[in-house]
Structure 1
């Protein structure tokens, strides 16, 4: 392990992680999600609904299987999450290229709802930037991207990448 010099470790002595990384990430995720949900919720959408609506606005019309792959969720999870947005009239499911396929698209009302929620999302993002500091947010994004790449399964392996 490489020595790390920080404010809490000024000598740069080798350090060992304390506690469970999974627990710490889950706690952080809950806190961040609460922050975004409280702001985006003012638009009438949950954070997950805003994300789904945003994907469809950006990529649609799109087949459910392709949308699920883009969002990295199962088709059953996608189907369950689509239902309230379709019921609200924000998304529509129409015919696809053949009788078995369907295309998901955002309605005009859905595009307007997404724009409203996007304004609330920006407020939430600016709040995170203020609370953590922009430099820390940029560093966090970089660290998360690197961790995701390192932990992604490789060419069919069940093992995590080194």
Structure 2
């Protein structure tokens, strides 16, 4: 792998190799999405007995941590598109785990907060999350897990 002076990853160069093969072998986006799908699957399996999937659990945690929070602030914190956020929030609201408060003074924003049931779910599913977290840490290795967390900490908030 060659590195440009600015630190960006460049394609391995093999003149006789098709461009698509070089991209497939070196694409950071493809690798990150592959890792994301594997990790999501591991958390999904652990959280399944609680009737929640990993993306929804993530939202519960963020709402607990930063709530009451508007949908737009939540999507900025978690890099969600509006439709993805809505799709993941709907079951949480329908199950009574998340409540939408009355509209704020602007008449549009309806802050999200955890209900008592949502807090209880978060508490009861924490053991499953912890088991999945340990599994993922073993899979990535301590240094890989720390590197992933450090990368995530450095990401800017999404502008919506």
TM-score (norm: length of structure 2): 0.71
Contact 1:86 1:92 in 2 (8 A): yes
Contact 1:45 1:117 in 2 (8 A): no
Go from structure 1 to structure 2 and tell me whether the alpha carbon gap of 1:122 and 1:62 turns closer, same or farther (over 3 Å shift). same
Give me the CA root mean square deviation.
2.6
> Aligned residue for 1:27?
34
Go from structure 1 to structure 2 and tell me whether the alpha carbon gap of 1:123 and 1:72 turns closer, same or farther (over 3 Å shift). same
Contact 2:12 2:26 in 1 (8 A): no
Contact 1:63 1:96 in 2 (8 A): no
Q: Which runs of 5+ in 1 are unaligned?
A: 3-14, 153-162
> Aligned residue for 2:97?
90
Q: Which runs of 5+ in 2 are unaligned?
A: 4-10, 14-21
> Aligned residue for 2:113?
105
- Listed one character per residue, the Cα deviations across residues 49-85 of structure 1 (whole Å, up to 9, x for unaligned) are 0001111111111122222222221233222221111
> Aligned residue for 2:141?
133
State the number of aligned residues: 136
Q: How far does residue 110 in structure 1 lie from its aligned partner after superposition? A: 0.3
State the secondary structure of the residue aligned to 1:26.
helix
> Aligned residue for 2:7?
none
Aligned with residue 46 of structure 1, among 22, 29, 53: 53
Runs of 4+ in 1 over 6 A off after TM superposition: none
Query: Do residues 122 (structure 1) and 147 (structure 2) align?
Result: no
Greater relative contact order, per chain length (Cα 8 Å cut-off, separation 6+)? 2
Aligned with residue 65 of structure 2, among 52, 58, 63: 58
Q: In structure 2, how many angstroms separate the alpha carbons of the residues matched to 1:82 and 1:97?
A: 19
Go from structure 1 to structure 2 and tell me whether the alpha carbon gap of 1:73 and 1:125 turns closer, same or farther (over 3 Å shift). same
Go from structure 1 to structure 2 and tell me whether the alpha carbon gap of 1:50 and 1:140 turns closer, same or farther (over 3 Å shift). closer
Q: In structure 2, how many angstroms separate the alpha carbons of the residues matched to 1:139 and 1:97?
A: 39
Contact 1:40 1:121 in 2 (8 A): yes
